Amino acid sequence: MTMDPGLDALKSRVTAASLGPEARETGTVTEIADGLAHVSGLPGARLGEVLEFTGGARGFVLNLDETTLQAAFLDATAGIEAGSTVTRTGELVSVPVGDGLFGRVVDPLGRVLDDLGPLAASEMAEVERPAPSIIARDFVSEPVETGVLVVDALFAVGRGQRELIIGERGTGKTSIAVDAILNQKDSDIVCIYVSIGQRATAVRRVIEAVRQKGAFDRTIFVVAPATSQPGLRWLAPFAATSMAETIRDRGGHALIVYDDLTKHAAVHRELALLSRQPPGREAYPGDIFYLHARLLERSAKLSKAMGGGSLTALPIAEIEAGNLSAYIPTNLISISDGQIVTSATLFAGNQRPAVDVGLSVSRVGGKAQPRALKAVAGRLRLDYAQYLEMKMFSRFGGFGDAAMKKRLARGARIGALLAQDRYSPLSTAVQVALLAALADGVLDPVAIDQFPALKAALVPLIAAEPQLAGLNVAPEVDAATRKAATDCVRTAIAKLPALPEAPTP
């Protein structure tokens, strides 16, 4: 008698099945709102635990009350209503981490958003993790070279620092952060870009810029679009930080960009109001400061005993009408180690990056700034700030003095030098050469309109000069090295095309 192979397979499955009682803790949805559910009957649930709703949709525990809890949805809520069943999974929200994420676009749960197939990551990490202790941290002493001259020269960023980029909408905040990512193409820093509630077109532009000009295979993109569930947007920065921490804890170096935390605060306020938490200033809940403090404190430079890795954060915040004293901006300024402020006035005046040198500051980055760059930067910030003030008053006349005119001409050249096209970072050697030439008066005869062409001509000359290699780690700049740098600038000036003469009136 021939046995049915299908029957044999069924018998083997029955034999292998583990029989016995299975305990499952279930609750009931009592109320559902925009992306949030009130649930009763789950007394053992923990904060951050994943819950499963009717139909397979998932959420996580956001708040706990005495008899109920509030769960934020991570999936679509179709088919879920009051009376639906909720089941505990016993697992905290976790995301895949590791090298398999490099060059991928994922959502805050690690689900693939690109067309490159499934992830190769095998490790999982919880999204909520404690920040390193004070004993585990080290001093910020190594630079993060952003390639943006105004930042590297005046407001240097160090590995392990948290430097806030803040300004009005459309003033180039994201461009500064993306330039910093592009400049890590030849460094040992892995970059993570997390988008929180941004438009899909804006995120696509960032991804394409990194794909064409940066180290795409060492960059992770975590995207929570504006159309996603509020819980997913709330989770995005924490999930991305867990991915970055894995690199830091292995002794590597990571740079994470949060774009932006103003929208993240708005999502937190939305969920807090839906969960009936008492509103405070500007309707934000009382824990809004703790929300971002526990996020940004996870960025740090670890001690050698802990591996010596670092996680540098560039959070972005948006303000309205230049109001830096608003609630969320002041919170983020007090948490971070400095801020780069972008100005709508400078942006409209075609000074880009539109960094306000008077309001911007880096509290620790100067200690990590390359010595060569620090030596030639000198009085740059003070001279430029004085120039901006003189320029404002020069509109009323009265600056006929020759010394004043000379200072205005020098200030105009500083402004032209600090101006930089988007997605075109400069190496430390190029920056040192330009600033040394400025200080030595080499740039005085160069017309303002010729500065972009001068920078373009200087890049290959600097790259071909062996004496300027390693300036980013050089302990000092000797006279011979400085002369080699300024000679490259003189050669670039000689190659500049002559400007057309102005037409005779």
By annotation, the residues acting in catalysis are 363
Q: Is there a contact between 168 and 322 (Cβ–Cβ < 8 Å)? A: yes
Tokens 């490099």 belong to residue: 102
Cα separation of 131 and 294, whole Å? 7
Cα separation of 235 and 317, whole Å? 17
Q: Is there a contact between 300 and 137 (Cβ–Cβ < 8 Å)? A: yes
The structure tokens listed for 395 are 């509109």
CA 259 vs. chain centroid, Å, equals 6
Cα separation of 361 and 374, whole Å? 15
The structure tokens listed for 143 are 């630079």
Residue 202's H or E segment, with its range, is helix 200-213
Q: Is there a contact between 310 and 301 (Cβ–Cβ < 8 Å)? A: yes
Residue type, 159: R
The 8-class DSSP code of residue 76 comes to -
The 8-class DSSP code of residue 302 comes to B
Task: Round the CA-based radius of gyration of the chain to a whole number and report it.
Answer: 27
The number of residues in the chain equals: 505
Cα separation of 156 and 362, whole Å? 6
Cα separation of 386 and 383, whole Å? 5
The structure tokens listed for 69 are 């809890």
The 8-class DSSP code of residue 192 comes to E
Mention every residue, 6+ apart, whose C-beta is less than 8 A from residue 185. Answer: 213, 214, 215
Four-residue CA torsion sign, 93, 202, 315, 218: positive
The strands making up 189-196's β-sheet, listed across from edge to edge, are 105-106, 219-224, 189-196, 253-259, 310-319, 164-168, 338-342, 361-362
Q: Is there a contact between 182 and 188 (Cβ–Cβ < 8 Å)? A: no
